[in-house]
Homo-oligomer: A and B are copies of this chain.
Amino acid sequence: MSGEGRGFPVTEYRARVARAQVAMADAGLDALLLTSEPDVRYFSGFLTRFWESPTRPWFLVVPAGGDPVAVIPSIGASLMAQTWIEDVRSWRSPDLEDDGVSLLAEALREVAGVNRRLGLPMGAESSLRMPLADFKRLEAALSPVTFVGDAGIMRALRIRKSPAEVEKIRKACEVADRAFARVGEIAGAGARLDDVARRFQMLCLEEGADWVPYLACPCGPGGYHDVISPADGHVFAPGDVLMLDTGLVHDGYFCDFDRNFAIGAPSQAVRAAHRKLLDAVDAAMDIARPGVTAADLFHAMDKIVTGGQGGSDTGRLGHGLGTQLTEWPSLIPQDRTRIATGMALTLEPGIEVEPGRILVHEENIVIGDHGAEFLSTRADPEILCLEARR
């Protein structure tokens, strides 16, 4: 959805390419090959929901110098032509014999020459969005040129958001804030979980979400089993705790935070657990600034929610976010990533209320030069209560 405040000025994309090229020179890379939606969009601004169709591959080549080259299916040529990318090469996809491989090989040969090193994101949280057999064909076509990793360049660039990117995430958070404030309109004792899930997505849209790629809504008496189950026909009853966790999108950027709701009066254990989760968030906020590590944020929260036991099966207590619902870093003991200005993060502590019954709370923050700022409106430590529907 373009128009008022949508997209970025071309200067933003040029600055991203310039930073990439400095890092490529350091790493001795002659080109970067990008195949995933967030990576292609990062440099081009190419925004479409059409990536939902897994049929066709899409490629962006970032040379060591000069502007990126898009090698894409003809169905996207008109939209790509509206971005700042001028060199757009397309083929009629799907092509069962050669689905862009020759065209891409030609573009890579042209920009990187022979006997060169081509960078490809292949590390943690990446994936190659093209058929593996086609990638092997591409490697054969380019031999002896070889693909190596991207030297962490895409991670290093994307992990720190520009002020303009932060504003997109902030707007997504504001939409979700408004939707969460209206949950009382759609949920209460006697409501069905799957109906609430639909109606919450409608609230997100009504409040301004472009779309709602993610919603989790676990619910159970005194807590829930896990945080990824789809909604079922469960009918709310007093004592239930409902969690709504949404990743909605504004102009291609995600929020990712949740709210917990007690159906009827919550038990003392649930109230105390919820307060503890907010204490954990506050503890992380107290230390969140450039220079601490992702692990430090983990330990600040873990100390409060488990007494320092080292986390839970959800595996982490927060993560990056941006053009994806989840991005690097991970708030886990092993992640020594230095927190830096511009990082957008979730703080997502979980707690076991009783065996097999958990609560998870999540906020979104951004790191500034001297501390952190909430992008979501920090929840009250007292768990929200939904009364019976009339």
Contacts and interface: CB of A to CB of B under 8 A. Distances in A.
Nearest to A251: B230
B126 A122 contact: no
Q: Could you say how many copies of this chain the assembly holds? A: 2
Interface string A188-200: 0000011001110
Nearest to A314: B75
Contact of A52 (B47, B124, B126, B247): B247
Nearest to A213: B52
A334 interface: yes
A128 B211 CA distance: 26
A268 interface: no
A127 B125 contact: no
B124 A132 contact: no
A333 to B, nearest CB: 10
Contact of A1 (B97, B212, B232, B330): B232
Given A99-B124, A124-B96, A212 B212 contact: yes
A247 B212 CA distance: 13
A201 interface: yes
A325 interface: yes
A49 B216 contact: yes
A52 B131 contact: no
Contacts of A99: 124
A311 B50 CA distance: 20
Contacts of A214: 49-50, 52-53
Contacts of A92: 311, 313, 315
Given A127-B127, A316-B94, A334-B95, A75 B232 contact: no
A128 B122 contact: no
Given A79-B226, A79-B229, A94-B316, A198 B194 contact: no
A75 B316 CA distance: 10
Given A52-B213, A316-B94, A3 B131 contact: no
A56 B231 CA distance: 22
A228 interface: yes
Contact of A6 (B124, B205, B232): B232
A54 B96 contact: no
Interface string A224-237: 01111111110000
A233 B76 contact: no
A61 B194 CA distance: 31
Contacts of A314: 74-75
B230 A48 contact: yes
Contact of A315 (B50, B74, B123, B330): B74
A34 B57 CA distance: 20
B230 A55 contact: no
Contacts of A132: 120, 122, 126-128
A78 interface: yes
9 contacts: A2-B233, A49-B213, A52-B247, A92-B311, A97-B334, A127-B129, A199-B205, A205-B205, A212-B212
Interface of A: 1-4, 6, 47-50, 52-56, 73-79, 90, 92-97, 99, 120, 122-133, 136, 149, 193-194, 197-199, 201-202, 205-206, 208-216, 225-233, 247, 311, 313-316, 319, 324-327, 330, 332, 334-335
Given A3-B233, A92-B313, A198-B210, 12 more contacts: A1-B193, A1-B231, A1-B233, A3-B194, A53-B324, A75-B315, A96-B335, A124-B131, A126-B131, A127-B131, A133-B149, A202-B206
